[in-house]
Amino acid sequence: MPSSFSAELRAQLEACAYPGYVYGYPHKKAYRPLPPVSVVDAWRDEERSRLFAYVHLPFCNQRCSFCNLFTLVPADRSVIRPYLDALTRQMDVYARLIPSGFSRLYIGGGTPTYLEAAELRRLFGDLRRLLGVDPCRTQGCIEASPDTLDAEKVETLAELGIQRLSLGVQSFDLDELQAVNRRFDFIAHREAIDLIARAGFPRFNIDLIYGLPGQTLASWRHSLQQAIDSPANGLFLYPLYIRPLTGLARRSSLDAPTTHQIASMYDLAVDRLRLAGFRQVTMRQFRRDKAEEADDYRCQRDGMLGLGAGARSYTTALHYSTPWRMVARNIRTVIDDYIAADHHWIVHGFRLDADEQQRRHVIQGLLYAGLAPHEADTFPGEFAALEAEGLIERGEHIKLTPRGVRHADIVGGLFFSPRVRSLIAEYEYDT
Protein backbone atom coordinates (compact mmCIF):
# COMPACT_ATOMS: atom_id res chain seq x y z
CA MET A 1 0.00 0.00 0.00
CA PRO A 2 1.45 3.43 -0.90
CA SER A 3 2.50 5.62 2.04
CA SER A 4 0.50 8.76 2.80
CA PHE A 5 3.44 10.74 1.38
CA SER A 6 3.31 8.83 -1.93
CA ALA A 7 -0.45 9.37 -2.17
CA GLU A 8 -0.11 13.10 -1.40
CA LEU A 9 2.67 13.49 -3.97
CA ARG A 10 0.84 11.52 -6.67
CA ALA A 11 -2.34 13.58 -6.25
CA GLN A 12 -0.44 16.89 -6.43
CA LEU A 13 1.70 15.85 -9.39
CA GLU A 14 -1.35 14.66 -11.32
CA ALA A 15 -3.13 17.95 -10.66
CA CYS A 16 0.11 19.74 -11.58
CA ALA A 17 -0.55 21.74 -8.43
CA TYR A 18 1.06 25.04 -7.50
CA PRO A 19 0.31 24.88 -3.78
CA GLY A 20 2.23 28.07 -2.95
CA TYR A 21 5.70 29.58 -3.23
CA VAL A 22 7.91 27.66 -0.78
CA TYR A 23 11.00 29.77 -0.16
CA GLY A 24 11.19 29.65 3.58
CA TYR A 25 9.72 27.59 6.37
CA PRO A 26 7.38 27.99 8.10
CA HIS A 27 5.02 30.15 6.06
CA LYS A 28 3.91 33.49 7.55
CA LYS A 29 0.37 32.08 7.87
CA ALA A 30 1.74 29.85 10.67
CA TYR A 31 2.75 32.90 12.75
CA ARG A 32 0.57 33.77 15.73
CA PRO A 33 0.57 36.28 18.65
CA LEU A 34 3.28 35.38 21.20
CA PRO A 35 3.87 36.27 24.85
CA PRO A 36 6.37 39.17 24.60
CA VAL A 37 10.03 38.17 24.10
CA SER A 38 12.77 40.81 24.25
CA VAL A 39 14.93 41.14 21.14
CA VAL A 40 17.97 40.86 23.44
CA ASP A 41 16.84 37.40 24.58
CA ALA A 42 15.91 36.33 21.06
CA TRP A 43 19.36 37.14 19.65
CA ARG A 44 21.57 36.44 22.71
CA ASP A 45 22.84 32.99 21.71
CA GLU A 46 22.75 33.49 17.95
CA GLU A 47 25.73 33.43 15.64
CA ARG A 48 25.68 37.08 14.50
CA SER A 49 28.54 37.34 12.06
CA ARG A 50 26.87 36.45 8.76
CA LEU A 51 23.33 37.72 8.89
CA PHE A 52 20.98 38.65 6.09
CA ALA A 53 19.58 42.18 6.46
CA TYR A 54 16.14 42.56 4.90
CA VAL A 55 14.41 45.95 4.79
CA HIS A 56 10.71 46.11 3.89
CA LEU A 57 9.27 49.21 2.24
CA PRO A 58 5.51 48.63 2.07
CA PHE A 59 4.46 51.27 -0.48
CA CYS A 60 3.25 51.06 -4.10
CA ASN A 61 1.57 53.26 -6.69
CA GLN A 62 -1.22 50.72 -7.24
CA ARG A 63 -2.35 47.35 -5.89
CA CYS A 64 -1.82 44.79 -8.65
CA SER A 65 -4.71 42.38 -8.72
CA PHE A 66 -2.55 39.25 -8.23
CA CYS A 67 -0.58 40.65 -5.29
CA ASN A 68 -1.13 39.88 -1.61
CA LEU A 69 2.18 41.26 -0.36
CA PHE A 70 2.23 43.50 2.70
CA THR A 71 1.99 46.86 0.96
CA LEU A 72 -0.01 50.05 0.99
CA VAL A 73 -1.07 52.48 -1.72
CA PRO A 74 -0.72 55.70 0.29
CA ALA A 75 -3.12 58.57 -0.46
CA ASP A 76 -0.21 60.96 0.10
CA ARG A 77 3.47 60.71 0.97
CA SER A 78 3.14 61.90 4.58
CA VAL A 79 3.67 58.38 5.98
CA ILE A 80 7.16 58.00 4.46
CA ARG A 81 9.08 60.28 6.81
CA PRO A 82 7.72 58.76 10.07
CA TYR A 83 8.25 55.30 8.58
CA LEU A 84 11.92 56.08 7.85
CA ASP A 85 12.26 57.56 11.35
CA ALA A 86 10.90 54.29 12.81
CA LEU A 87 13.36 52.30 10.69
CA THR A 88 16.20 54.43 12.10
CA ARG A 89 15.01 53.74 15.65
CA GLN A 90 14.70 50.02 14.94
CA MET A 91 18.23 49.94 13.48
CA ASP A 92 19.45 51.77 16.57
CA VAL A 93 18.00 49.02 18.80
CA TYR A 94 19.72 46.29 16.76
CA ALA A 95 22.97 48.26 16.45
CA ARG A 96 23.64 47.33 20.07
CA LEU A 97 22.94 43.64 19.42
CA ILE A 98 24.52 43.27 15.98
CA PRO A 99 27.14 45.96 15.53
CA SER A 100 28.48 44.74 12.19
CA GLY A 101 27.55 41.23 11.18
CA PHE A 102 25.83 41.38 7.83
CA SER A 103 26.86 39.51 4.72
CA ARG A 104 23.72 40.15 2.64
CA LEU A 105 21.35 43.05 2.06
CA TYR A 106 17.99 42.94 0.35
CA ILE A 107 15.57 45.86 0.10
CA GLY A 108 12.11 44.59 -0.83
CA GLY A 109 8.47 45.49 -0.65
CA GLY A 110 6.11 46.67 -1.86
CA THR A 111 8.15 48.83 -4.17
CA PRO A 112 11.26 50.26 -2.50
CA THR A 113 11.77 52.71 -5.38
CA TYR A 114 8.48 54.33 -4.42
CA LEU A 115 10.87 56.36 -2.21
CA GLU A 116 12.49 59.49 -3.64
CA ALA A 117 16.24 59.59 -4.26
CA ALA A 118 16.87 61.64 -1.09
CA GLU A 119 14.84 59.16 0.99
CA LEU A 120 16.82 56.26 -0.45
CA ARG A 121 20.06 58.06 0.40
CA ARG A 122 18.90 58.53 3.96
CA LEU A 123 17.95 54.83 4.30
CA PHE A 124 21.31 53.60 3.00
CA GLY A 125 23.13 56.16 5.15
CA ASP A 126 21.38 54.77 8.25
CA LEU A 127 22.13 51.17 7.28
CA ARG A 128 25.80 51.99 6.93
CA ARG A 129 26.09 54.23 10.00
CA LEU A 130 24.08 52.12 12.44
CA LEU A 131 24.54 48.54 11.23
CA GLY A 132 27.71 48.75 9.17
CA VAL A 133 25.86 47.48 6.08
CA ASP A 134 27.69 48.32 2.88
CA PRO A 135 25.71 47.49 -0.30
CA CYS A 136 28.92 46.70 -2.21
CA ARG A 137 30.16 44.12 0.25
CA THR A 138 26.73 42.56 0.89
CA GLN A 139 25.61 42.00 -2.73
CA GLY A 140 23.04 44.73 -1.98
CA CYS A 141 19.83 44.16 -3.93
CA ILE A 142 16.77 46.37 -4.37
CA GLU A 143 13.38 45.70 -5.98
CA ALA A 144 11.91 48.27 -8.34
CA SER A 145 8.94 48.70 -10.63
CA PRO A 146 9.13 50.53 -13.98
CA ASP A 147 6.63 53.26 -13.03
CA THR A 148 8.69 54.38 -10.02
CA LEU A 149 12.10 54.79 -11.67
CA ASP A 150 13.65 57.94 -13.06
CA ALA A 151 17.21 58.87 -14.00
CA GLU A 152 17.95 60.47 -10.62
CA LYS A 153 16.84 57.42 -8.63
CA VAL A 154 18.69 54.94 -10.81
CA GLU A 155 21.89 57.00 -10.66
CA THR A 156 21.51 57.36 -6.89
CA LEU A 157 21.16 53.60 -6.45
CA ALA A 158 24.26 52.99 -8.59
CA GLU A 159 26.22 55.59 -6.58
CA LEU A 160 25.10 53.99 -3.33
CA GLY A 161 26.73 50.76 -4.48
CA ILE A 162 23.67 48.60 -5.18
CA GLN A 163 24.91 45.41 -6.85
CA ARG A 164 21.64 43.98 -8.08
CA LEU A 165 18.51 45.74 -9.25
CA SER A 166 15.41 43.60 -9.71
CA LEU A 167 12.73 45.06 -11.96
CA GLY A 168 9.12 43.81 -11.81
CA VAL A 169 8.10 43.71 -15.45
CA GLN A 170 5.65 40.76 -15.13
CA SER A 171 4.71 40.79 -18.83
CA PHE A 172 5.64 42.59 -22.04
CA ASP A 173 2.00 42.35 -23.22
CA LEU A 174 -0.01 45.50 -22.54
CA ASP A 175 -3.39 43.74 -22.31
CA GLU A 176 -2.02 41.25 -19.80
CA LEU A 177 -0.67 44.07 -17.64
CA GLN A 178 -3.91 46.02 -17.73
CA ALA A 179 -5.87 42.90 -16.80
CA VAL A 180 -3.96 42.79 -13.50
CA ASN A 181 -4.17 46.51 -12.75
CA ARG A 182 -0.60 47.38 -13.75
CA ARG A 183 -1.53 50.67 -15.26
CA PHE A 184 1.79 51.75 -16.71
CA ASP A 185 2.83 51.08 -20.25
CA PHE A 186 5.83 50.00 -22.29
CA ILE A 187 7.35 53.43 -22.36
CA ALA A 188 7.89 53.06 -18.61
CA HIS A 189 9.28 49.55 -19.17
CA ARG A 190 11.62 50.55 -21.94
CA GLU A 191 12.84 53.70 -20.21
CA ALA A 192 13.44 51.83 -16.96
CA ILE A 193 15.37 49.06 -18.74
CA ASP A 194 17.52 51.61 -20.62
CA LEU A 195 18.25 53.61 -17.46
CA ILE A 196 19.25 50.48 -15.53
CA ALA A 197 21.43 49.22 -18.38
CA ARG A 198 23.20 52.58 -18.62
CA ALA A 199 23.87 52.70 -14.87
CA GLY A 200 25.75 49.40 -15.18
CA PHE A 201 24.63 47.45 -12.10
CA PRO A 202 26.64 44.20 -11.92
CA ARG A 203 23.38 42.28 -11.78
CA PHE A 204 20.11 43.27 -13.38
CA ASN A 205 17.14 40.99 -12.86
CA ILE A 206 13.71 41.01 -14.50
CA ASP A 207 10.64 39.36 -12.90
CA LEU A 208 8.01 37.84 -15.19
CA ILE A 209 4.79 35.98 -14.33
CA TYR A 210 3.34 33.08 -16.34
CA GLY A 211 -0.28 31.99 -16.08
CA LEU A 212 -1.70 35.53 -16.19
CA PRO A 213 -5.33 36.04 -17.28
CA GLY A 214 -5.47 36.13 -21.08
CA GLN A 215 -1.90 34.88 -21.44
CA THR A 216 -1.25 32.25 -24.10
CA LEU A 217 1.79 30.17 -24.93
CA ALA A 218 2.46 32.58 -27.82
CA SER A 219 2.24 35.73 -25.70
CA TRP A 220 4.41 34.10 -23.02
CA ARG A 221 6.99 33.25 -25.69
CA HIS A 222 6.93 36.91 -26.75
CA SER A 223 7.51 38.17 -23.18
CA LEU A 224 10.33 35.69 -22.69
CA GLN A 225 11.97 36.78 -25.92
CA GLN A 226 11.79 40.43 -24.88
CA ALA A 227 13.48 39.54 -21.60
CA ILE A 228 16.15 37.47 -23.40
CA ASP A 229 16.81 40.38 -25.78
CA SER A 230 17.05 42.85 -22.87
CA PRO A 231 20.32 43.62 -21.05
CA ALA A 232 19.12 41.72 -17.94
CA ASN A 233 21.52 39.00 -16.82
CA GLY A 234 19.04 37.35 -14.47
CA LEU A 235 15.37 36.39 -14.65
CA PHE A 236 12.87 35.33 -12.02
CA LEU A 237 9.87 33.56 -13.55
CA TYR A 238 6.91 33.13 -11.21
CA PRO A 239 3.88 30.92 -11.88
CA LEU A 240 0.78 32.96 -11.05
CA TYR A 241 -0.68 32.25 -7.64
CA ILE A 242 -4.25 33.38 -7.18
CA ARG A 243 -4.31 34.33 -3.52
CA PRO A 244 -7.29 35.01 -1.24
CA LEU A 245 -8.48 38.62 -0.97
CA THR A 246 -6.68 39.72 -4.15
CA GLY A 247 -8.47 41.35 -7.06
CA LEU A 248 -8.06 38.18 -9.12
CA ALA A 249 -9.55 35.99 -6.39
CA ARG A 250 -12.64 38.24 -6.30
CA ARG A 251 -13.27 38.10 -10.05
CA SER A 252 -16.20 35.92 -11.03
CA SER A 253 -14.67 34.79 -14.30
CA LEU A 254 -11.01 34.54 -15.09
CA ASP A 255 -9.67 33.84 -18.52
CA ALA A 256 -6.63 32.25 -16.87
CA PRO A 257 -4.54 29.31 -18.13
CA THR A 258 -5.02 25.93 -16.42
CA THR A 259 -2.29 24.48 -14.21
CA HIS A 260 -1.29 22.12 -17.05
CA GLN A 261 -0.99 25.09 -19.44
CA ILE A 262 1.07 26.90 -16.78
CA ALA A 263 3.36 23.86 -16.60
CA SER A 264 3.78 24.00 -20.42
CA MET A 265 4.79 27.66 -20.06
CA TYR A 266 7.43 26.62 -17.55
CA ASP A 267 8.75 23.92 -19.93
CA LEU A 268 8.88 26.42 -22.78
CA ALA A 269 10.84 28.87 -20.62
CA VAL A 270 13.35 26.24 -19.47
CA ASP A 271 14.03 25.23 -23.10
CA ARG A 272 14.28 28.71 -24.53
CA LEU A 273 16.42 30.07 -21.74
CA ARG A 274 18.84 27.15 -22.00
CA LEU A 275 19.20 27.82 -25.73
CA ALA A 276 19.74 31.52 -24.96
CA GLY A 277 22.63 30.68 -22.61
CA PHE A 278 20.89 30.98 -19.24
CA ARG A 279 21.70 28.66 -16.34
CA GLN A 280 18.75 27.50 -14.20
CA VAL A 281 19.46 28.06 -10.51
CA THR A 282 16.07 27.15 -8.97
CA MET A 283 12.53 26.63 -10.22
CA ARG A 284 12.22 30.41 -10.59
CA GLN A 285 15.72 31.76 -11.01
CA PHE A 286 17.74 31.83 -14.23
CA ARG A 287 21.11 33.51 -14.76
CA ARG A 288 23.00 34.38 -17.87
CA ASP A 289 26.32 35.36 -16.24
CA LYS A 290 28.73 32.55 -15.53
CA ALA A 291 29.90 33.77 -12.12
CA GLU A 292 28.78 31.64 -9.18
CA GLU A 293 27.81 33.79 -6.24
CA ALA A 294 30.64 34.08 -3.71
CA ASP A 295 28.36 33.13 -0.90
CA ASP A 296 29.35 33.47 2.68
CA TYR A 297 25.69 33.51 3.74
CA ARG A 298 24.36 29.98 4.34
CA CYS A 299 20.58 29.99 4.03
CA GLN A 300 20.14 26.89 6.18
CA ARG A 301 22.10 28.12 9.17
CA ASP A 302 22.48 31.86 9.15
CA GLY A 303 19.80 34.16 10.47
CA MET A 304 17.94 37.09 9.01
CA LEU A 305 17.18 40.45 10.56
CA GLY A 306 14.05 41.98 9.08
CA LEU A 307 13.59 45.73 9.44
CA GLY A 308 10.30 47.49 8.84
CA ALA A 309 6.60 46.59 9.02
CA GLY A 310 5.97 43.30 7.23
CA ALA A 311 9.63 42.17 7.40
CA ARG A 312 10.36 38.75 8.86
CA SER A 313 13.32 37.97 11.14
CA TYR A 314 14.77 34.48 11.59
CA THR A 315 16.74 33.27 14.59
CA THR A 316 17.38 29.55 15.10
CA ALA A 317 14.37 28.96 17.31
CA LEU A 318 12.15 31.97 16.66
CA HIS A 319 10.79 33.52 13.48
CA TYR A 320 8.96 36.80 13.94
CA SER A 321 7.40 39.80 12.21
CA THR A 322 4.60 42.28 12.56
CA PRO A 323 1.20 40.73 11.75
CA TRP A 324 0.54 40.25 8.06
CA ARG A 325 -2.59 41.96 6.73
CA MET A 326 -4.17 42.34 3.31
CA VAL A 327 -6.95 44.89 3.74
CA ALA A 328 -5.68 48.46 3.27
CA ARG A 329 -6.97 49.97 6.54
CA ASN A 330 -5.52 47.01 8.52
CA ILE A 331 -2.16 47.38 6.77
CA ARG A 332 -2.21 51.04 7.70
CA THR A 333 -2.87 50.11 11.36
CA VAL A 334 0.11 47.72 11.37
CA ILE A 335 2.31 50.44 9.84
CA ASP A 336 1.09 53.00 12.40
CA ASP A 337 1.78 50.52 15.23
CA TYR A 338 5.25 49.94 13.79
CA ILE A 339 5.86 53.70 13.71
CA ALA A 340 4.77 53.98 17.36
CA ALA A 341 6.69 50.90 18.61
CA ASP A 342 9.93 50.92 20.62
CA HIS A 343 11.17 47.81 18.69
CA HIS A 344 12.42 46.08 21.84
CA TRP A 345 9.70 43.42 21.94
CA ILE A 346 8.61 40.52 19.77
CA VAL A 347 4.91 39.73 20.04
CA HIS A 348 4.09 37.80 16.87
CA GLY A 349 5.83 34.84 15.28
CA PHE A 350 6.53 31.13 15.40
CA ARG A 351 8.77 29.06 17.70
CA LEU A 352 10.74 26.29 16.00
CA ASP A 353 11.47 23.22 18.12
CA ALA A 354 14.15 20.73 17.03
CA ASP A 355 11.76 18.95 14.63
CA GLU A 356 10.67 22.22 12.96
CA GLN A 357 14.32 23.33 12.67
CA GLN A 358 15.16 20.04 10.96
CA ARG A 359 12.24 20.42 8.55
CA ARG A 360 13.41 23.92 7.67
CA HIS A 361 16.95 22.67 7.14
CA VAL A 362 15.77 19.89 4.80
CA ILE A 363 13.47 22.18 2.78
CA GLN A 364 16.17 24.85 2.32
CA GLY A 365 18.77 22.22 1.51
CA LEU A 366 16.64 20.47 -1.09
CA LEU A 367 15.45 23.67 -2.77
CA TYR A 368 18.86 25.38 -2.83
CA ALA A 369 22.30 23.87 -2.11
CA GLY A 370 21.56 20.11 -1.76
CA LEU A 371 21.67 17.86 1.31
CA ALA A 372 24.23 15.46 2.73
CA PRO A 373 22.97 11.84 2.27
CA HIS A 374 22.52 11.18 6.01
CA GLU A 375 20.19 14.18 6.29
CA ALA A 376 17.45 12.13 4.63
CA ASP A 377 17.42 9.67 7.54
CA THR A 378 15.04 11.77 9.65
CA PHE A 379 12.30 11.69 7.01
CA PRO A 380 12.56 8.23 5.36
CA GLY A 381 8.92 8.12 4.16
CA GLU A 382 9.11 11.52 2.48
CA PHE A 383 12.45 10.79 0.78
CA ALA A 384 11.31 7.33 -0.43
CA ALA A 385 8.23 8.94 -1.99
CA LEU A 386 10.30 11.68 -3.67
CA GLU A 387 12.72 9.11 -5.07
CA ALA A 388 9.93 6.86 -6.36
CA GLU A 389 8.51 9.83 -8.28
CA GLY A 390 11.92 10.72 -9.75
CA LEU A 391 11.98 14.08 -7.97
CA ILE A 392 15.38 13.67 -6.26
CA GLU A 393 18.68 12.00 -7.07
CA ARG A 394 21.25 10.71 -4.62
CA GLY A 395 24.96 11.22 -5.18
CA GLU A 396 27.52 13.08 -3.16
CA HIS A 397 24.54 15.27 -2.28
CA ILE A 398 20.81 14.69 -2.45
CA LYS A 399 19.52 17.08 -5.09
CA LEU A 400 16.35 17.76 -7.01
CA THR A 401 16.18 16.23 -10.48
CA PRO A 402 14.94 18.53 -13.29
CA ARG A 403 11.46 17.09 -12.59
CA GLY A 404 11.96 17.91 -8.90
CA VAL A 405 12.94 21.49 -9.75
CA ARG A 406 9.80 21.78 -11.92
CA HIS A 407 7.69 20.74 -8.94
CA ALA A 408 9.77 22.44 -6.22
CA ASP A 409 6.72 23.84 -4.43
CA ILE A 410 5.19 20.36 -4.14
CA VAL A 411 8.51 18.93 -2.89
CA GLY A 412 8.88 21.66 -0.24
CA GLY A 413 5.29 21.28 0.95
CA LEU A 414 5.78 17.57 1.66
CA PHE A 415 7.98 18.45 4.66
CA PHE A 416 5.53 20.81 6.36
CA SER A 417 4.79 19.47 9.86
CA PRO A 418 1.23 18.55 10.90
CA ARG A 419 1.31 21.56 13.25
CA VAL A 420 2.29 24.02 10.51
CA ARG A 421 -0.25 22.54 8.13
CA SER A 422 -3.04 23.02 10.63
CA LEU A 423 -1.93 26.55 11.56
CA ILE A 424 -1.93 27.47 7.85
CA ALA A 425 -5.33 25.82 7.33
CA GLU A 426 -6.81 27.64 10.35
CA TYR A 427 -5.32 31.01 9.39
CA GLU A 428 -8.04 33.66 9.30
CA TYR A 429 -7.64 36.35 6.68
CA ASP A 430 -8.47 39.87 7.74
CA THR A 431 -11.69 41.51 6.60
Ligand X SMILES: C[S@@+](CC[C@H](N)C(=O)[O-])C[C@H]1O[C@@H](n2cnc3c(N)ncnc32)[C@H](O)[C@@H]1O
386 touching ligand X, by CB under 6 A: no
69 touching ligand X, by CB under 6 A: yes
Q: 109, 211, 257, 303: which one contacts ligand SF4 (CB under 6 A)? A: 109
Shortest distance (Å) from residue 167 CB to ligand X: 7
Looking only at residues 72 through 101 of this chain, which bind ligand X when binding is defined by CB under 6 A?
none
Near ligand SF4 by CB under 6 A, which window of 106-114, 287-295, 342-350, 402-410?
106-114
168 touching ligand X, by CB under 6 A: yes
Shortest distance (Å) from residue 354 CB to ligand SF4: 35
Contacted by 46, from ligand SF4, ligand X, none: CB < 5 to 8 Å by type: none
Contacted by 63, from ligand SF4, ligand X, none: CB < 5 to 8 Å by type: ligand SF4
Q: 22, 56, 71, 356: which one contacts ligand SF4 (CB under 6 A)? A: 71
Contacted by 213, from ligand SF4, ligand X, none: CB < 5 to 8 Å by type: none
The residue among 109 and 135 lying less far from ligand SF4, judged by its C-beta, is 109
Q: Using CB under 6 A, count the residues that bind ligand X.
A: 17
**3-class secondary structure for the chain?**
CCCHHHHHHHHHHHHCCCCCCCCCCCCHHHCEEEEEEEHHHHHCCCCCCCEEEEEEECECCCCCCCCCCCCECCCCHHHHHHHHHHHHHHHHHHHHHCCCCEEEEEEEECCHHHCCHHHHHHHHHHHHHHHCCCCCCCCCEEEECHHHCCHHHHHHHHHHCCCEEEEEEECCCHHHHHHCCCCCCHHHHHHHHHHHHHHCCCEEEEEEEECCCCCCHHHHHHHHHHHHHCCCCEEEEEECCCCCCCHHHHCCCCCCCCHHHHHHHHHHHHHHHHHCCCEECCCCEEECCCCCCCCCCCCCCCCEEEECCCCCEECCCEEECCCCCCCHHHHHHHHHHHHHCCCCEEEEEEECCHHHHHHHHHHHHHHCCCECHHHHCCCHHHHHHHHHCCCEEECCCEEECHHHHHCHHHHHHCCCCHHHHHHHHHCCCCC
Q: 90, 111, 171, 205: which one contacts ligand SF4 (CB under 6 A)? A: 111
- Binding region for ligand X (CB under 6 A): 60, 66-67, 69, 108-109, 111, 143, 145, 168, 170, 207, 209, 238, 240-241, 243
- Binding region for ligand SF4 (CB under 6 A): 60, 63-64, 67, 69, 71, 109-111, 145, 168
